[in-house]
Amino acid sequence: MTDSKSKFAAGPLAGLRVLDMSTMLAGPYGATLMGDLGADVIKIESHYGDESRHLGPMRGDQRGPYLSLNRSKRDLVLDLQQEEAQKVFAKIAATTDVLVTNIREPALSKLGLSYEQVKAHKPDIIWVRVTAFGADGPYDGRPGIDFLAQGYTGVLTLNGEPTGGPVRTGFPAVDVMTSLLVANAAMAALRVRDQTGEGQRIEVSLLDALMHAQASSIGTYLATGDRPVRTGNRSLYFAPSGVYPTKDGKHVVITTPGEKFFGKVCRALETDWDTDPRFHDINARLANEDELDRVVGERTSQYTRDELVEKLIAADVLTAPINEVEDVIQDPQILHNKMIVSTQHPELGELKVTGIPVRFYGTPCEVRKHPPMQGEHTRELLAELGYSTAEIDDLIARGLAADRVELLRLKEERKAKKKAQQG
């Protein structure tokens, strides 16, 4: 390995430091991706912690949403509402390349996290903030989440069955897309800094991310005036395209973007639909889509899901099983792509998380750190900043910082107080 490559043995972002000052999903998951790519990501939390630590199913004393989103990081607890804790933050900010936040004003400035405030500690900082609707404008300052962005951008109108009501996506698609933009924007800004020596402020919003994602729907309307409509599992442009039943009560996807694919479906299912006047070309099929779906469904119902998928794949048909969650985590391609990987958690043992969605051949990446427990690395990080053991003890004793031991002590103290009040 050459010297230049050895520097990046831990990934293409090795040597860079990222501060994750965000909560929930879009910001933290963007920081996670940078950690997966090799950056030293430090999650700074209050004593209360990331909101995702308080939501969803539990494993041990950790919450599923937090565990699923925050690998590849170290964790430091600081109470930034106290002025003396700001001095600690100034030290770590001075060592940082990228800061990610999603805190709204006025809390942002009260915590010393605005761009200008952080820039005073690190003049070339790359500062990335996630908002719901934008950094300014008529919706500036409003709270917002994924669901609201889907409403404003019309995704709720376009998702669902034609005769049904609006339906949101079954996973936080907007947050995930925004997290990718967070990481992408930060890396683009780092390239500029490499050339100019200057950092910059970056704003990313859920609203803009989802508008960007709708080039094929809203974009087509802008270009042609043709209003997109809700189609359920069907396509606006070709048929058959949908979800079809199997005899074991499961379903498969079959779609045919082109005449050759419809012919392949016919051959695989041993039919002559492509010679039937009702179905012989795309216009006829779209005009008779209800009948087409009926006959396709009758034929697919003669096979189990696995039999049908095997048969269709052998005929080069565009198809997929409708996998249950239990099927997904055993899918051979997903496992081959290392999109489910294991990491060792110090208290929970083996913990499986989703993998890294990009593959680098020159500077391979991997999930190297478990999702950190709150305050797990407080002492380690403060020591790296030059604080002595006695000074760290003092910071924790005064409530300016906290490690896991202290947080657990405080938790037990609150429990005892509550019990005494109730008794």
Helices 173-196 and 206-213 cross at an angle (nearest 10°) of: 100
Pair 227, 158: CB distance under 8 Å: no
Classify residue 343 by its DSSP letter: E
Phi-psi region of 55 (alpha: psi -120 to 50; beta: other; left: phi over 0): beta
Handedness of CA 95, 97, 103, 109 (dihedral sign): positive
In angstroms, what CA-CA distances link 147 with 35, 132, 164, 166, 376? 27, 10, 18, 12, 32
Pair 354, 54: CB distance under 8 Å: no
| CA end-to-end distance (rounded Å), the chain | 67
Integer-rounded Cα radius of gyration of the chain: 26
276 is catalytic: no
d(CA 323, CA 55): 26
Give the Cβ contact number of residue 284 at 10 Å: 15
From 20, 40, 75, 175, the catalytic residue: 175
> Residue with structure tokens 């037990």?
412
Catalytic residue positions? 175
